[in-house]
Structure formats: C-alpha cells, structure tokens
Structure 1
Amino acid sequence: MNQRVTTFLEGDLLERYLMGTTSPIESQEVEHYIAKYPEVKETYNELQKNLEDYASSYAVAAPEELKTSIMKSIKAKPKKERIFPWIAVVACGVAVIFSFVTYLFWDQNQALMEDRYVYNELLEQLSDDIVSNRESLQSVEEQFMILNSTETQKYIMRGNTRARKLEMVAYVNELEKKSYVNVVALPELPDDQVYQMWAEVDGKLRPLDILKMSKDNLVEIPYRERMASLNITIEPKGGSKETTEESVVSKVSF
C-alpha cells in the first residue's frame, strides 16, 4: 500500500469527515483521497456502513401522540404578518453577496489544495530520486571495491580477424562471484547481428549476455562457477542459446 495512503488511514480525518467535523479544506482532502485511492474508498464505505448499522440499532420510534400534538400546534398557530417587500430585497442582496464571498473562498481553497497536491507529488518524486541515486552510488562503490580488490583478476580481450578492432577488459572475482567487462572498442555490426558473450564451463560454452556499448562502458555480466574462459561470438539479432568454437571472435582463458 502507498505510504501516503497508509499515513492517511492511520489518522482520524476519515472518521471526522463521516461525523461532519472536518473543515472545508480537510473535507476536500478526504474527498480527493476517496476518489483517487480504492483502499481509502473501501475503508470509507465500510465505516459509513458501520455508522449506519450503529444508528439503526439504537433508533427509537417516535410516539404516535407526538405526531397528533404537532399537527394540532401547526393548525392553531396564527399566520405571520406579511414581510415588507424591501426587507425581502435586502435579504436577497445579502444572500447574493454571501454566495459570492463563499465562492471566492471556495476558489481559493481549491487553488491551495491543487498547490498542496503538486507539492506532495514533487516531494514523492524527490524522495524516489534520492533512493535511486543512493542505490546507484552503492552500486558504483561496490564495483570500485571489487575492481580494486587483490582477489580480482584482470584479462585483456582482443578480436581476431573477424573483429580486429574489438578490445575489452574482463574482471573476474571468484571470491565475490562477480564479473565485469569494460568495453574499450566494439566494431559495428549489421542490424541483424549482435555480439554475445559466453562462459566455457565443463568444456561447453554457456550463454551469458548480449554485448553492447554503454555510457559507462563497464558492464556486469553473470558469474558462472568453474568458468575456464570468456568468449565473444557474432550471433543473429536476439542472441543464440548454442554456439560453436568456429563462431568465436575473441577469447581469454583463466
């Protein structure tokens, strides 16, 4: 569940809204949550039903004689004198002014609510960016530690006659079970072909990842136990599940 929804439901705004004790701004906030989040709407409907059931269980029917007494009182009550027209005009004017002022306040409240929602959305986005940046920093720190570890082995890979300009550096850390490749140069291929990496395990080439240039050039590749060598082949677009030694354009043995 969304953290904002959880925080909202843990508060008492929804209960106070049902009891009619919220301010206009609070009421608008509650209605916004009810309309936007299904979890809030479900809780609202459940609370409303519980309140109705509670009221029904304690309801007491009015005595029949009370109705008769009220009807007699209405019939016996003298008619009020007619109010002067000018009083009615003043009353209408006051009502119009009051309505106009009320609309102005409502419009301002709507603008404030919109600003508040935008502000909350920006805060959420900023929070997500902070988390993403923290994770990226942790990943970079982890890569730095592994690449500079004494347990990490470094291997230079160059292409054969089929990929002369191919050049990259492979880093393998058996202790941490991590492996990376730093792509230095990768010759262009036709659109229907790709470079694919393979790990030689128990005498058989096992598929790893499609190899391509990245903005950082350093790419983590899956680590395989008992890797005897890393290999690069040229495969059809999308990669292959199996290959042969004849397809290898670059290889480094451990």
Structure 2
Amino acid sequence: MEIKLHSFLTSNLLNKYLVGETSMKESKEVEYFIDNYPEVASAYEKLQDNLEIIAKAGAVDVPNNILQDILESLEDNNETKVIQLVQNKRISWYSYAATAAAVLFAVSTFFLYQKNQNLVDENNVVVEEIFDLRSDIDNNNSKLEELSRELMKLNDPDAKKYVINGNERAKNLKTVAYINPVEKTSMIDVITLPKLPKEQHYEIWAEMQDRMVNLGILDESNRKLKQIPYVEDALALSIKISTKGDSINQNNAAVAEISLKD
C-alpha cells in the first residue's frame, strides 16, 4: 500500500486535479486518496496554498518600460515596413497592442510554468520526507522490538544472573552474565572494562571438567547485551587478558571468574 501511495503522490495527479485537468475517473481516484490518506490531504492543502501564492504573485504589475521597449524594437525593424495607407496609424497601433499582449501573455505563461515546476519539486520533496519519516519509525519500532525480546530473556524466571567482578589485576572490571539452562541461551552485559594496550584484549572462557572453551572477545565499546555461545555443563566463567594473534592463551591467568555451580 505504501508503494501505491508513493506512486500516486509522484504521479502529478494532484496538480492536474487542482487546476481542473483530470478526467472523471482520475478525479474520483484523487478524491479517494484525499479522503483516506492524511499525507495526501496535507499535500493537497499545501498545493492549494502555493497556488494562491502564485495567483497573488501573478498579479504583480508589469514594469512600465516593457511595452515601450517592444514598440521601439518593432519601429527599428525596417524590413517590416509596408506602403503607407491612410489608415496605417490605426492598423499599426492595433498591431503593436496585439504584439505587446502576446509578449505579456508569454511572460506570464513562462512565470506560471516555472512556479508550477517549483510546486512539483516541492511536492516530491514532501513525499520523500514522508517516506523517510516512515522509514525512521519502522527502524525505531524494530529496535524497540529487539530490546523487548532481550528484556523478556532477562526477565525469564529460568534465567540466572551472574555478576563477574575483576580481581586485583582488573579492579574496575564488571560484567553480568545471564544464562538460561532451559532455553539454552547465554548473554553477557559489559559494564566496565579497564583499558588495555592496543595489542591486547579481553576474552571470556567457559571452564569444563577437562578443558577450557573460548566464548569470544569482550569489548566495552559495544555497550549492549551480547549473545555468547551456550556451553552445556560449564563449571565456571572466567575473563582473561590475551594478546592478539596468540592462539595459546587458555592457560593465561584469569582477571575475573565466577562459579556456575550452586
């Protein structure tokens, strides 16, 4: 339906309807959109206001020297002269008047055409702004839905919360893990991480009965809940400082850890 609305607003039917150039079928279509879509009604009202402004602008007096310039130009053109007759003055006067009227009409027509083009451009801008606003609303709704899903996971009665504080090597470190053994999901919320040299980073590990499992890198710049792999029968979680590119780091000393067993 939004595609159909966008197609209508960019079809120039509103402009034709405003100046009475639509067929009966087109008029019914325009009136249907005006009655059922606030965006179209708003655009139509704006076109009416702009048309009123144009009508007022078109009533501006023509500069006094335009007609005189036209007459002088015609008089200077010797090729248009004919044999003088008794009634020549009257005929020339009517010719000048007709020419001046034609020029004034052409100027007015061009002026109105330019204004109409400006209205069309402005109408298209309004349409684009409407759809940009709709897109922003959709994006915000999507983020709210995602946040709502995350909150539901946190508030699930089966989810367990584990606060992981740093030891002497990382006193300001604090993260919170949410583990749901029923849904088999794990999430980590990074609250604070002490800064490290560029070549180092924090990693979170799951301690098993016979091995350690790397669950990923922790980065304070991403301050939102982060999904981490769920590990069945994990005994504890620990956070370690590792050097980038070092594949042998599971034996590094932990700077924070917590048991997952009651």
The Cα shift of 1:207 comes to 4.0
Counterpart in the other structure of 2:7: 8
Q: State how 1:9-158 maps to structure 2 within 5 Å.
A: 84-158=91-165
For structure 2, list consecutive stretches of 5 or more residues without a partner in the other structure: 14-20, 23-81
The Cα shift of 1:253 comes to 3.7
The Cα shift of 1:127 comes to 0.9
Q: Which amino acid in the other structure matches residue 244 of structure 1?
A: Q
Counterpart in the other structure of 2:179: 172
Counterpart in the other structure of 2:255: 249
Q: Confirm whether residue 234 of structure 1 aligns to residue 233 of structure 2.
A: no
Counterpart in the other structure of 1:45: none
Q: Helix, strand or coil: the match of 1:245?
A: coil
The Cα shift of 1:104 comes to 1.9
Paired with 1:120 and 1:133, the residues of 2 have a C-alpha distance of 20
Paired with 2:118 and 2:202, the residues of 1 have a C-alpha distance of 56
TM-score, with structure 2 as normaliser = 0.57
Q: Helix, strand or coil: the match of 1:118?
A: helix
- Evaluate the alpha carbon distance shift between residue 187 and residue 212 of structure 1 in structure 2; reply closer, same or farther with a 3 A threshold: same
Deviations 1:104-150 (A, max 9, x none): 21222122222212211221121112112211221222222221211
Counterpart in the other structure of 1:159: 166
8 Å contact kept, 1:196–1:209: yes
Counterpart in the other structure of 2:42: none
Q: Which amino acid in the other structure matches residue 208 of structure 1?
A: G
The Cα shift of 1:200 comes to 4.8
8 Å contact kept, 2:166–2:255: yes
Q: Helix, strand or coil: the match of 1:172?
A: strand
8 Å contact kept, 1:180–1:218: no
8 Å contact kept, 1:182–1:219: yes
Paired with 1:213 and 1:191, the residues of 2 have a C-alpha distance of 14
Counterpart in the other structure of 1:185: 192
8 Å contact kept, 1:155–1:171: yes
The Cα shift of 1:92 comes to 2.3
The Cα shift of 1:157 comes to 0.9
Deviations 1:140-196 (A, max 9, x none): 222222212111011121223321221221111233343222333321222333223
- Evaluate the alpha carbon distance shift between residue 103 and residue 156 of structure 1 in structure 2; reply closer, same or farther with a 3 A threshold: same
- Evaluate the alpha carbon distance shift between residue 241 and residue 222 of structure 1 in structure 2; reply closer, same or farther with a 3 A threshold: farther
Counterpart in the other structure of 1:220: 226
8 Å contact kept, 1:197–1:211: no
- Evaluate the alpha carbon distance shift between residue 241 and residue 174 of structure 1 in structure 2; reply closer, same or farther with a 3 A threshold: farther
Give the total of aligned pairs: 186
Paired with 1:116 and 1:160, the residues of 2 have a C-alpha distance of 63
Paired with 1:86 and 1:198, the residues of 2 have a C-alpha distance of 100
Paired with 2:125 and 2:233, the residues of 1 have a C-alpha distance of 53
- Evaluate the alpha carbon distance shift between residue 101 and residue 200 of structure 1 in structure 2; reply closer, same or farther with a 3 A threshold: farther
Q: Which amino acid in the other structure matches residue 214 of structure 2?
A: R
Q: Which amino acid in the other structure matches residue 205 of structure 1?
A: V
8 Å contact kept, 1:195–1:212: no
Q: Which amino acid in the other structure matches residue 123 of structure 1?
A: I
Deviations 1:8-40 (A, max 9, x none): 39x9889xxxxxxx88xxxxxxxxxxxxxxxxx
